Chain A
Amino acid sequence: MMDLFFKPRSVAVIGASRNPKKDGNIILQNIIDSDFSGDIYPVNPSAEEILGLKVYPNVKDIPGEVDLVVLIIPARFCVQAMEDCAAKGVKAVIIEAMGFAEVGPEGKALQDQIVKIARRSGIRVMGPNCTGIVSRDITTSFFPIKDVPRGDVVLIGQSGLLAAGMASDIVVNRTLNINKICSIGNKCDVNENDLLEYFGNDPDTAVISLYLEGVADGSRFVPIAREVAAKKPVLLLNGGRTEAGAQAAMSHTGSIASNQRIVEAALRQTGCIKIDDFTEIKDIAKVFSTQPVPGGNRVAIVTAAGSVGVVVSDLCAEHGLEMPRLSSPIVESLREVFPPNMEPANPIDLWYTIEQLGLVKTLEVTLAAPLQDPGIDAVVLILAGFDYTIPVLEQRTVQKITAKYGKPVIICMIVGYNDYKNRIMEELGQDLPVFTSLDSGVKALSKLCAYGMRKRQQI
Chain B
Amino acid sequence: MIINQILGQAREESRLVLTEIEAKQVLGAAGINCTDTRLAADKAEALTLSEQIGYPVVLKVSSVDITHKSDAGGVKVNLADRAAVEKAYDEIMASCRRAVPAAVIEGVSVQPMARPGIEIIMGMIKDPSFGPVLMFGLGGIFVEVLQDVTFRIVPLQPGDAAAMIDEIKGKKLLEGFRGQEPVDTSSLVDMLLKLSAFVEKNPTIKEIDMNPVFAYREGALVVDARIILE
Give the B-binding residues of A (Cβ under 8 A): 214-219, 221-222, 244-246, 249-254, 256-257, 259, 261-262, 264-266, 268-269
Contact = CB atoms under 8 A, between A and B. Distances in A.
Interface string B100-129: 000000000000000000000101111111
B209 A257 contact: no
Given A253-B125, A261-B151, A265-B150, A219 B131 contact: yes
Contacts, number: 87
B143 interface: yes
Contacts of A262: 127, 130, 133, 151, 153
B210 to A, nearest CB: 9
A226 to B, nearest CB: 9
Interface in B197-227: 206-209, 211, 226
Interface of B: 16-17, 121, 123-131, 133, 135, 143, 147, 149-153, 160, 163, 167, 206-209, 211, 226, 228
B33 to A, nearest CB: 19
27 contacts: A218-B127, A218-B130, A219-B129, A221-B130, A222-B130, A245-B125, A245-B128, A246-B125, A249-B125, A250-B17, A251-B125, A251-B207, A252-B211, A253-B121, A253-B125, A254-B123, A254-B207, A256-B135, A256-B143, A256-B149, A257-B127, A259-B127, A259-B129, A264-B151, A265-B153, A268-B163, A268-B167
B135 A253 contact: yes
A269 B208 CA distance: 21
Classify the interface of chain B: helix, strand, loop or mixed. Answer: strand
Contact of B153 (A246, A254, A256, A269): A269
A257 B125 contact: yes
A252 B129 CA distance: 20
B150 A256 contact: no
Given A250-B207, A268-B167, 16 more contacts: A215-B129, A219-B130, A222-B153, A250-B228, A251-B208, A251-B209, A252-B143, A252-B209, A253-B135, A254-B207, A256-B135, A257-B125, A257-B135, A265-B153, A269-B152, A269-B163
Nearest to A244: B128
A218 B160 CA distance: 17
A245 B126 contact: yes
Contacts of A217: 129
Across the A-B interface, the 6 shortest Cβ-Cβ residue pairs: A253-B123, A218-B130, A218-B129, A265-B151, A251-B207, A219-B131
A266 B152 CA distance: 6
Given A251-B125, A251-B228, A265 B207 contact: no
A243 B208 CA distance: 19
A264 B133 CA distance: 12
A216 B124 CA distance: 21
B104 to A, nearest CB: 20
A245 B150 CA distance: 17
A402 B209 CA distance: 53
A251 B149 CA distance: 15
A252 B123 contact: yes
Contacts of B228: 250-251
Contacts of B149: 256
Contacts of A218: 127, 129-131, 153
Contacts of B167: 268
Given A251-B125, A265-B133, A269-B160, A219 B153 contact: yes
